[in-house]
Chain A
Amino acid sequence: MTFELEVKMAVYRHFAETGVRPSCEQVAERVGTTAGEVVEAYQRLRAQRVLVLEADGISIRMALPFSGVATQHLVKAGSRSYFANCAWDALGIPATLQQPATVYSRCEQSMEPLRLEVGLEGPAGSDWVFHCVVPAAQWWDDIVFT
């Protein structure tokens, strides 16, 4: 396993196990390296579109489908809560964890709350819909907006 892959896996395991983003120091401890080396790996993982970083270059904004910051898409699985980056990622979290979950979000137009039970075979019958304004070819032009 390459060093970058070790860092990536440490980040993802931390998110999955805690619901929140890890600090560089926490990742370094998991991998057995220094925070400085983790930050260097973050830059390479950002270039590969594995991580999205905050402007400080050391805080994780996104490790898709997990969000490092609070959003309108909350996912509860087992005893843990997670924030998703978007509606797609809200379903992506139970898919990633391979656990049943409850998604809490809203209709962006009416602000009506959404509570969606997601089992191992997907969401219970729902007539809600998903919409994305950004074409796939432009998603990474501004992934936070997307």
Chain B
Amino acid sequence: MLFFRSEERVQQWCRAQDYVQRPIVRMDQLWMLAKTWYSTRLQPDSRRPQPAEMREIFARCGLKDSFWDSEADSFAAPGS
């Protein structure tokens, strides 16, 4: 999970590393994910989201591709 200066840099990096390019996430979307995942982390009742909750969180952030589905099985291993 890495930062890139632009989508073009992602494309260059994926080509160089022989990785499949995955969905691009904007910084505002990443902040929404970070806030949803972690804003209660220092509270005793904090817990990791379950798969259905994860799908709902990603969808709310505009990330609806099955890449973000923790129960999907349709993706090849990175680099394959």
Residues of A with Cβ closer than 8 Å to B? 1, 5, 9, 12-13, 16, 49-50, 64-65, 85-98, 105-110, 112, 114, 116, 118, 122-123, 126-139, 146
Contacts and interface: CB of A to CB of B under 8 A. Distances in A.
Contacts of B34: 65, 88-89, 91-92, 94-95
B21 to A, nearest CB: 8
Contacts of A12: 41-42
Interface string B6-40: 11011011101001111011111111111101110
Interface of B is mostly: mixed
Interface residues of B, number: 49
30 contacts: A9-B42, A9-B44, A65-B41, A87-B30, A88-B1, A88-B34, A88-B37, A92-B37, A95-B38, A96-B38, A96-B39, A97-B42, A107-B9, A108-B2, A109-B4, A109-B10, A109-B12, A109-B13, A110-B9, A122-B28, A122-B32, A128-B3, A129-B25, A130-B27, A130-B29, A130-B30, A132-B25, A133-B20, A137-B70, A138-B78
Closest 9 CB pairs of A and B: A86-B1, A91-B34, A122-B31, A135-B75, A109-B13, A109-B9, A107-B5, A130-B25, A92-B38
Interface of B: 1-7, 9-10, 12-14, 16, 19-22, 24-35, 37-39, 41-42, 44, 48, 54, 58, 67-73, 75, 77-79
B48 A136 contact: no
Contacts of A9: 42, 44
B25 to A, nearest CB: 4
A131 to B, nearest CB: 5
B65 to A, nearest CB: 9
Given A88-B1, A129-B3, A129-B6, A137 B71 contact: yes
